[in-house]
Amino acid sequence: MTDTRDASMVDESADAAIMRVDAAIDGLLASCDPAHSSYGEFRAAQFDAGLAWVHFDEGHGGLGVSPKLQRRVEERLRKAGAPPMRPIMFFMHLAGPTIHTHGDEALRQRYLRPMFTGEELWCQLFSEPGAGSDFAGLAARAVADGDEWVVNGQKVWNTLAHLADYGMLVTRSNPDVPKHRGLTYFALDMKLPGVEVRPLRQITGEAEFNEVYLTDVRIADADRIGDVGDGWRVALTTLMNERNAIGAGGGGQAKRASGPISVLVKLWRRRATADRDAAARDRLTKLWTRAEVLRLTNLRAGANRRKGNPGPEMSIAKLASAELNQDLMTCAVDLMGAEGLVGYDYTCRRPENLTVDGSDGGIQHGFLRVRANSIEGGTSEIMRNILGEQVLGLPGEPRLDKDVPWIDVPRN
């Protein structure tokens, strides 16, 4: 006979979690009507109800239940009229799980709530001119000085750093050990003396990206996230959540008018019947199918997650969404014909928001913007390495500097 006691206990536990989440949602909507509350007020009430990140601990925006129930929360709140998260708050998806997983109690209390409400905006300070794909080779130096750290270095490709209040900063605190073991992670106040943000103009004409210079910046040890020298492990939490956030948004859904696929479908429907040739229809159908496969893959991956932080499997979604978005927007420009070559403003501007998938700001803007999708959040080449080694179990590439102290590794 098969013992069904464990299965029944799991079912009962799942049912209890759903009932608990539904009760929290009912209480939130009863006490804070989204139609009569400001964006910040409703987000604060949502956090206090444990519905910000439901898998987080109680008192930190969560209820300690399965992360897959977050979708239930979002669907019910949107149906009740609650506004979606503002795109400018994208980095909440990265910083929040990192601080919750590795930060101490004081850091959780200090940063999670204002991050979720949008009172404090975050950016990511990882890549450097000499450490992009080889992130562990970074050189920004942190030297301990009493209960502070003095940081010097340069970061690059820092999205929306010109608007951020805080940054997720990874530094080299010990150059005398192999590169993965000498890193330390901090929450950086972007208004500290010695922090300079400079714009980087992109192919779109925008300066959404930045380079950040750190000159004798003094960071309190209390703002260290994780142990000294454990920055690589902490950063992996950030990176996995970044790939999850980018990959989960890729492709979109045509029926719900979201993402690049909806841009393409709407454009197709505006074309005259005589212009809907069979070859273009076949191309559109194949792209729609890829977008739907990606959407379903993301749903399956979300349902299979057993912990709050995603694993290397989310590199599949990140890789697929980057290439799909580029193919979708290329097809859209092709459908526009000569019209796609004109009517775009290349004037340099500093955006106040974030467009990751190219679905906003016009088709020409989207076509140019998605060129970055295969670079940001980890290049497609790096995603393939991760999938080969960590998901498929293939032999890793030769790494001659793996056990060599960072200070002894030759650099250009």
**Cα–Cα distance measured from residue 223 to residue 219, given in angstroms and rounded to the nearest whole number:** 7
**Cα–Cα distance measured from residue 372 to residue 389, given in angstroms and rounded to the nearest whole number:** 24
SS3 36: helix
Dihedrals phi, psi of 374, to nearest 5 degrees: -85, 5
Task: Name the burial class of residue 88, with classes exposed (0-12), middle (13-18) and buried (19+) by CB atoms within 10 angstroms of its CB.
Answer: middle
How many CB atoms sit inside 10 A of residue 45's CB? 20
**Cα–Cα distance measured from residue 220 to residue 169, given in angstroms and rounded to the nearest whole number:** 13
SS3 179: helix
Contact 102, 226 (CB under 8 A): yes
SS3 280: helix
**Cα–Cα distance measured from residue 84 to residue 191, given in angstroms and rounded to the nearest whole number:** 28
How many CB atoms sit inside 10 A of residue 396's CB? 10
Which residue among 41, 242, 339, 381 is the active-site one? 242
Q: Of the candidates 390, 386, 404, which has an alpha carbon nearest to the alpha carbon of residue 137?
A: 404
For 137-194, strand residue ranges (E) read 141-145, 148-156, 166-172, 183-189
From residue 171, alpha-carbon distances to 217, 251, 308, 407 in Å are: 12, 34, 25, 14
Concatenating the DSSP letter of every residue in 215-230 gives: EEEEEEGGGEESSTTB
Concatenating the DSSP letter of every residue in 42-66 gives: HHHHHHHTT-SSTTSPBTTTB-S--
Q: Of the candidates 140, 145, 173, which has an alpha carbon nearest to the alpha carbon of residue 158?
A: 140
Q: Which two tokens stand for residue 166?
A: 């805080």
Give 405's strand partners.
178
How many CB atoms sit inside 10 A of residue 33's CB? 14
Contact 238, 95 (CB under 8 A): yes
Q: Is there a catalytic annotation at residue 211?
A: no
Active site residues: 242
